């Protein structure tokens, strides 16, 4: 029978300890109760709520606020529980004590009674009858054969001492020893590492484990001698019983199977598990082939069933040298000969089909290589097209940046002149036409920025079905009378994150393009659906990531396009229409907007079979509402008196901004380059309330000069302006988010409003 284990969790143990402490304080003094011998208690059970008995302390353990004592004898059936710290537990092992406490029966998992627990409310209910000897090794020395006749029927079981030689110390620390008269197992001895042959003395409490006598809680010391243990040779299988438990034996067997450091041996009619149980985890048994005859040495151990019948045999090996090969099996066994004949037959049959299989494999490999070649050509073409569009985009973005400086000057002066002329003035109309032309040029630069993915976007989470609902009437008006439009919406369409105005522009561009492709009429189909793009699709389409997307498809039944046209369809200023119809920027703008929104657009077309545009946008989480900001208007509230330091290397634009801000009442210090600006900042004795600078300067960087000025003047707020969009500037890491920014071309009203808004902010702009 194994040790009694307390299965209560720590929280319950603490609660029980608290109850015991309460009993210690509040309980009345117990009445005298008759003493119950341990063996009678084990037979009759807890016959009374309060029991008094005597026993020998075998061991102790402190669990939180509880002290548990285990009494030796009667298969260690008695456990005493009391508050920790009330007695010196280190003096109790091997002491005879008398205890009085509440009795509780202990059960195992099968609801079988395995012992009892006495719960003591205080240390007053424990009395030491005979203290433990100061030297545990003063116990009477006994031969192991006498110890093996131990029966757990006595009331008091003191430590017993044996002397012998170590036969094996297991990895767990438990030790097997023998003295010539017998062998015994020391369970978890408190001893240093021992080696086979070391002479030792062991003092412990006799007990039973798997119907074998063991010494529990043994303490061990070496005596200095050494003797190589010799195994007991078990020559016949008739000797395989429990008489040799714990002994170092030698026997012969046949290997049945092997799993790492465990061999299964057939010894006569019995099956043995031979296990290498050593402290060195790097030690391993060699591999043995099945049916190999071996001679093994190890510690003999049997495990009985509840009825006492032996159900398993084990050998604990010390080292890999404890196994010696007697005979290896012949390779030419009947099973192997049969398998060999079967393989020869199979290969003979395969020989008849070898040529056919070879031809088939060559054909498949040729087809695979052709597909791989086609795929490589397709990816190379996609890469070439992407590089071409990227180069054109950078060129278009650079042109748009420089053009925005010119447009800002044109628009600004036209607005100033318009404000100075009455609408009835003959010069008012030409000035209005100049402003309109500047607006149209601004729209053209906006399309170039959209293609180059440098446009200012206001993305929010939205549903594409809602976009189609809002556009349906307008789209039908854009189509000719011979074209029939069909809408197919997925009611469970995933939301996406994009700029709603820009997505409307994309859909309108695709619809107008489809309408122009059907001069004789046809059917236009707009469809939304959820798609999941896998890794294969991502590999075949450059720049696409696998994942969940919401797709908008625009399909027409028009004339279609050849592969040469589809490869150039997204290039700016490329158009298949006759001269004078369109600018060639519609599809290029759609391409840039979709790419800047993190999506993908592709075209599928064939001459005479119509065209389909697929727009993929990554799925988002939820739909949100975000109102758009209104265009600022110049009002009297935009006036001021503060000092503004202006840095702009374009002279015309610098003159315009200085004139507009001066007209609003501001004191303007202007500089064409960073060096001049720094000199103005150092020489100006008064405060500089605002720094207005271009991001990209011919002789420096606006962000760098802003850092130097704000370091010297922390109170100075900063507005950056650029012909690139704010998103494009942020992508290159030039500005931090939430930085005040003014995109060119801007109106005089937008300039005045932005300056006033930044100056009126309650806190300074985030430092660069």
User: 5: exposed, middle or buried (C-beta count within 10 Å: 0-12, 13-18, 19+)?
Assistant: exposed
Are 296 and 322 spatial neighbours (Cβ–Cβ below 8 Å)?
A: yes
For each successive 10 residues of the chain (768 residues), what is the average pLDDT?
A: 38 43 40 63 70 88 91 73 89 91 85 84 91 88 86 72 91 88 86 85 86 87 86 80 88 90 89 81 82 92 83 89 89 82 88 85 86 73 60 58 71 74 73 70 58 55 88 83 90 89 83 86 92 86 86 90 78 60 64 83 86 92 50 60 90 86 90 90 90 85 89 91 61 59 82 89 52
- Indicate the SS3 state at residue 708: helix
Residue range 10-130, CATH number: 2.40.50.140
Q: How many CA atoms lie within 13 A of 450 on its CB side?
A: 26
User: Any idea of the CA torsion for 709, 714, 716, 720, to the nearest 10 degrees?
Assistant: 60
pLDDT at res. 114: 78
Are 327 and 289 spatial neighbours (Cβ–Cβ below 8 Å)?
A: no
pLDDT at res. 697: 82
Residue range 636-759, CATH number: 3.40.50.2300
pLDDT at res. 10: 42
Q: Is the backbone peptide bond immediately before 447 cis, with ω within 30 degrees of 0?
A: no
Cβ-based neighbour number of residue 731 at 10 Å? 13
* Residue 101 bridge partners (DSSP): 51
Given the DSSP bridges, would you call strands 212-226 and 183-187 parallel, antiparallel or unpaired?
parallel
Are 269 and 298 spatial neighbours (Cβ–Cβ below 8 Å)?
A: no
- Indicate the SS3 state at residue 247: coil
The set of residues, in sequence order, having a beta carbon less than 8 Å from that of 454 and lying 6+ positions away, is 397, 400, 724, 725, 727, 728
Q: What is the C-alpha to C-alpha distance for residues 523 and 484, in angstroms, rounded to an integer?
A: 5
The encoded tokens of residue 743 equal: 């995109």
Residue by residue, DSSP assigns 180-217 as SS-EEEEES-B-----TTEEEEEEEEEEEETTEEEEEE
- For residue 612, what is the enclosing H or E element? strand 611-618
pTM of the predicted structure, to 2 decimals: 0.43
Are 69 and 92 spatial neighbours (Cβ–Cβ below 8 Å)?
A: yes
The fold of the 136-226 domain, in CATH, is OB fold (Dihydrolipoamide Acetyltransferase, E2P) (2.40.50)
The encoded tokens of residue 316 equal: 């604990």
The set of residues, in sequence order, having a beta carbon less than 8 Å from that of 479 and lying 6+ positions away, is 485, 511, 515, 524
Q: What is the C-alpha to C-alpha distance for residues 100 and 124, in angstroms, rounded to an integer?
A: 9
Q: What is the DSSP letter of 411?
A: H
The encoded tokens of residue 5 equal: 């284990």
Tell me whether domains 232-327 and 460-618 share a fold: no
Q: What is the C-alpha to C-alpha distance for residues 121 and 22, in angstroms, rounded to an integer?
A: 8
pLDDT at res. 299: 92
Are 509 and 585 spatial neighbours (Cβ–Cβ below 8 Å)?
A: no
Pick the CATH number of 460-618 from 3.90.1150.10, 1.10.10.10, 2.60.40.1730, 3.30.565.10: 3.30.565.10
pLDDT at res. 279: 64
Q: Which residue has the tokens 């071309």?
A: 745
Are 434 and 414 spatial neighbours (Cβ–Cβ below 8 Å)?
A: yes
> Could you tell me the residue ranges of all domains in the chain?
10-130, 136-226, 232-327, 356-447, 460-618, 636-759
Residue range 232-327, CATH number: 2.40.50.140
């Amino acid at each position: 029978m194994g040790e009694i284990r307390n299965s209560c969790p720590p929280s319950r143990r603490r609660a029980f300890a608290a109850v015991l402490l309460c009993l210690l304080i509040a309980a009345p003094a117990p009445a005298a109760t008759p003493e119950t011998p341990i063996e009678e208690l084990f037979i009759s059970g807890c016959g009374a709520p309060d029991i008094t008995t005597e026993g020998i302390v075998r061991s102790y353990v402190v669990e939180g606020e509880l002290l548990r004592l285990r009494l030796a004898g009667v298969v260690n059936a008695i456990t005493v529980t009391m508050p920790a710290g009330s007695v010196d537990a280190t003096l109790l092992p091997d002491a005879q004590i008398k205890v009085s406490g509440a009795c509780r029966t202990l059960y195992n998992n099968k609801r079988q009674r395995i012992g009892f627990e006495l719960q003591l409310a205080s240390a007053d209910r424990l009395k030491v009858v005979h203290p433990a000897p100061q030297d545990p090794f003063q116990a009477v020395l006994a031969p192991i054969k006498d110890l093996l006749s131990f029966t757990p029927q006595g009331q008091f079981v003191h430590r017993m001492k044996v002397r012998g030689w170590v036969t094996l110390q297991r990895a767990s620390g438990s030790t097997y020893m023998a003295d010539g008269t017998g062998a015994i197992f020391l369970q978890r001895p408190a001893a240093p590492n021992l080696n086979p042959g070391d002479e030792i003395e062991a003092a412990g409490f006799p007990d039973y484990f798997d119907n074998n006598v063991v010494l529990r809680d043994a303490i061990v010391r070496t005596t200095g001698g050494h003797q190589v243990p010799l195994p007991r040779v078990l020559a016949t299988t008739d000797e395989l019983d429990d008489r040799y438990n714990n002994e170092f034996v030698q026997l012969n067997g046949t290997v049945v199977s092997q799993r790492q450091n465990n061999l299964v041996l057939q010894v006569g009619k019995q099956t043995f598990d031979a296990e290498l149980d050593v402290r060195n985890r790097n030690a391993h048994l060699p591999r043995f082939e099945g049916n190999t005859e071996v001679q093994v040495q190890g510690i003999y151990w049997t495990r009985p069933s509840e009825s006492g019948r032996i159900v398993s045999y084990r050998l604990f090996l010390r080292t890999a040298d404890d196994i010696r090969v007697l005979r290896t099996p012949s390779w030419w066994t009947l099973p192997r000969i049969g398998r060999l004949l079967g393989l020869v037959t199979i290969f003979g049959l395969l020989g008849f089909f070898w040529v056919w299989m070879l031809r088939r494999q060559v054909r498949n490999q040729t087809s695979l290589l052709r597909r791989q070649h086609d795929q490589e050509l397709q990816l190379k073409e996609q890469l070439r097209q992407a590089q071409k569009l990227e180069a054109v985009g950078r060129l278009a973005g650079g042109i748009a940046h420089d053009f925005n400086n010119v447009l800002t000057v044109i628009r600004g002066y036209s607005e100033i002149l318009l404000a100075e002329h009455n609408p009835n003035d003959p010069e008012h109309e030409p000035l209005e036409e100049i402003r309109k032309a500047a607006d149209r040029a601004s729209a053209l630069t906006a399309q170039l920025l959209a293609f180059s993915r440098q446009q200012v976007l206001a993305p929010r989470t939205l549903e594409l079905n809602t976009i189609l609902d809002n556009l349906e009437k307008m789209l039908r008006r854009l189509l000719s009378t011979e074209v029939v439009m069909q809408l197919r919406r997925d009611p469970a369409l995933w939301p996406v994150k994009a700029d709603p105005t820009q997505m409307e522009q994309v859909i309108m561009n695709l619809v107008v393009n489809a309408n122009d492709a059907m001069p004789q009429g046809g059917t236009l189909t707009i469809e939304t659906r959820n798609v999941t793009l896998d890794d294969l699709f991502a590999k075949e389409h450059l720049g696409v990531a696998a994942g969940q997307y919401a797709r908008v498809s625009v399909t027409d039944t028009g004339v279609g396009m050849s592969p040469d046209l589809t490869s150039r369809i997204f290039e700016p200023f490329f158009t298949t229409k006759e001269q004078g119809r369109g600018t060639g920027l519609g599809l290029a703008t759609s391409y840039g907007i979709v790419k800047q929104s993190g999506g993908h657009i592709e075209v599928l077309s064939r001459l005479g079979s119509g065209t389909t545009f697929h727009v993929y946008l990554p799925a988002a989480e939820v739909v949100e509402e975000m109102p758009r900001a209104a265009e600022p208007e110049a009002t009297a509230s935009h006036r001021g008196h503060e000092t503004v330091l202006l840095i702009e290397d374009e002279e015309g634009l610098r003159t315009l901004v200085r004139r507009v801000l001066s007209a609003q009442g501001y004191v303007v210090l202007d500089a064409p380059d960073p060096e001049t600006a720094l000199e103005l900042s150092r020489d100006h004795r008064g405060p500089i309330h605002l720094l207005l600078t271009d991001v990209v300067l011919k002789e420096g960087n606006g962000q760098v000069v802003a850092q130097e000025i704000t370091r010297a003047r922390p109170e100075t707020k900063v507005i950056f302006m650029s012909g690139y969009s704010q998103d494009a500037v942020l992508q290159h890491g030039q500005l931090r988010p939430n930085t005040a920014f003014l995109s060119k071309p801007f109106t005089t009203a937008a300039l005045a409003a932005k300056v006033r808004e930044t100056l009126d902010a309650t806190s300074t702009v985030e430092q660069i």
